[in-house]
Amino acid sequence: MASQNIVVVTDSNFESEVVKSSLPMLVDFWATWCTPCLALAPHVEALAQEYAGKIRVGKCDIDANPMVPTQLEIRSIPTLLMFKAGQVVGQVVGAVPRARIQDLVKKAL
């Protein structure tokens, strides 16, 4: 489910890939069984391509990587978190229109 513009975020690489990222980073917390997550995926992919070089985009499968979502108190998926300088600067929960995700990205730039 990851492409060349999307980083697979795991419990073990979260610190190095997200917290220490030099660019703002959008992370999609999802699961394979989540239909709204799958519906949101093409929008996340499109934004990863559109903003390549300006932001980084990652996807974290909550079933394979339960520690990070637990630490971030993610209670529902899909959840998109925007990180800047290692801190959460915005959040969107649910299968929302692409424009709403794009607003989240623009606020971090």
The catalytic site residues sit at: 34, 37
What is the distance between the alpha carbons of residues 8 and 59, in angstroms, rounded to a whole number?
5
The residue behind tokens 């899909």 is: 78
- In the chain, % helix, strand, coil (3-state, to 5) comes to 35, 30, 40
